[in-house]
Amino acid sequence: MLYRKMNTAKEKLSILGFGCMRLPVTADGHIDEEQSTDMIRYAIDNGVNYIDTAYPYLNGESEPFVGRALAGGYRKKVNLATKLPSWLIKSREDMDKYLDEQLSRLKTDHIDFYLMHGLNSMFWENLSTLRVTDFLDDAIADGRIRYAGFSFHDNLPLFKEIVDSYDWTFTQIQYNFMDEQYQAGTKGLEYAAKKGLGIVVMEPVRGGLLARDLKGVSEIWQTAETHHDPAEWALRWVWNHREVTIILSGMSSPEQVRQNVTLAESGLPDSLTKKELGLYGKVKKELKKRSIIPCTGCRYCVPCPHGVSIPECFEMFNRGHIYEDETDAQQHYTMFLGGFFDGIPHYASCCQECRECEEKCPQNLPIRENLKKVRAYFGK
C-alpha cells in the first residue's frame, strides 16, 4: 500500500480509501454484515487506513455497521470519515445533534475527517447563515472531530468560494478521466491543492461504469504495451495526479477489495507514459461519440422557472446511452433530481414548454424537444 499526506494533517493516508456506500446487501436489502465486515477488515489488514461513510448511506445502515465492523481494535488502525447531513440542518443546534448521534452510531469518541456533505449553493447558503464555521471550530476544539472538510456537487465558482471561506483541511470531489470539467473538475482540484487542501476523490470509476468492457473501448485499451483492465486504467489515471491524496472506492465484493488493494501498490503520481495518456484521450472521444444530446453543461439555461434541472437531465440521459446502462442512469436520475435534498422534483416532466431556456442557450439546442426525449426515456 502506498501513502500520501495532506498539508495540514499529520497522518500518512492510504491512497485507497474504503467507501461504505456500495457494500453487499442481502436479499431483503440490508447490509450483508458478515461479508462486509470481512471485506473492510481485509482492506485494513492490507494497509487501507481511511474508511468513509455518511449518515444516509444504505438507508442509514452504513454508519452503525461501520461502528460494529471496526470493533476489536480496528478503530484504532484507521482514520474514520463521515459527513454532516447538510440537507437536514435547520439550526445551529442541529449540527451538534447530528454529530453527537453519528459518534454514537459509529461507537467512537471522535471523527478523524468530518465533511459537510454534498455542498451546493442552497446547502452552503443555509449552513453559512447558521454559522457552520463556528460549529466546526467548536467541534475541533472539544475533540469531537480532528479535521474539517466538505464534499461538493455544484459549479466551479461556488467551489472556489467555499475553499476560500474557511481553513479546511481537505475537500472531496468527483473526478475521473471522463469528468475533467464536471463540477469542480481539474481547475477546482488544482485550485484547492494550491490553497493547501488535501484532495479525496469520489467516483474515480464513475460508479463502476468505467470498469466495463464496452465494445469500441476495450479495443483501445488492448493496444497498450502493458495489459490492464478498464477499472485499473481508471484508477491509475486519478492516482497519476499528485494533487490527489486518496481515491475512494465503493467496493461491493471481496474480489474488488483484493483487486484494488493490489492496484494501490503501484498508484504512483506521474507514472503514466505519454502513450498511455494518449489512450485516455481516444477512449474519451469514443465514449463521447455516444452522447445523444450535445449539451456542454454551460448552465445558461438555468434556473428554470418550473424547476427543471436541464443540464442534469441531459447528463443522466446521455449517461445511459454512453455506458449502455439504463438502470444506472435511472437510479441517478431519481436520486439527484427527485427532490431528495430539497423536496422539489427537478425532472424533465416538470417542463411547461415556456421557451425561456431556449432563448438563453448559446448552442441553440431544441431544449423542449430534448426534454421530451428524456421524459420518454425515464418515464414521468
Provide the CATH topology of domain 3-281: TIM Barrel (3.20.20)
Model confidence at 240, in pLDDT bands (50, 70, 90)? very high
For the cut 90, the answer to whether the pLDDT of residue 16 exceeds it is: yes
Mean pLDDT to the nearest integer, 222-235: 93
Here the contacts of 330-335 (C-beta below 8 Å, separation 24 or greater) are 330/378, 332/207, 333/378
For the cut 90, the answer to whether the pLDDT of residue 83 exceeds it is: yes
Task: Please say whether the beta carbons of 95 and 54 come within 8 A.
Answer: no
Model confidence at 182, in pLDDT bands (50, 70, 90)? confident
257 CB-near residues (< 8 Å, 6+ apart): 18, 39, 42, 43, 251
According to the model, what pLDDT value does residue 362 have?
Answer: 82
According to the model, what pLDDT value does residue 296 have?
Answer: 79
**pTM of full prediction above 0.85:** yes
CA atoms within 13 A on the CB side of 84: 31
Residue 119: beta bridge partners? 152
For the cut 90, the answer to whether the pLDDT of residue 17 exceeds it is: yes
For the cut 80, the answer to whether the pLDDT of residue 342 exceeds it is: no
Q: What tens digit of pLDDT does each residue of 366-375 get?
A: 999 999 999 9
Domain segments of the chain: what residues?
Answer: 3-281, 310-378
Angle between helices 33-45 and 62-69 (to 10 degrees): 60
According to the model, what pLDDT value does residue 87 have?
Answer: 92
Rg (CA), the chain: 21
For the cut 80, the answer to whether the pLDDT of residue 340 exceeds it is: no
* Arithmetic mean of pLDDT over the chain: 94
Residue 18: beta bridge partners? 51, 249
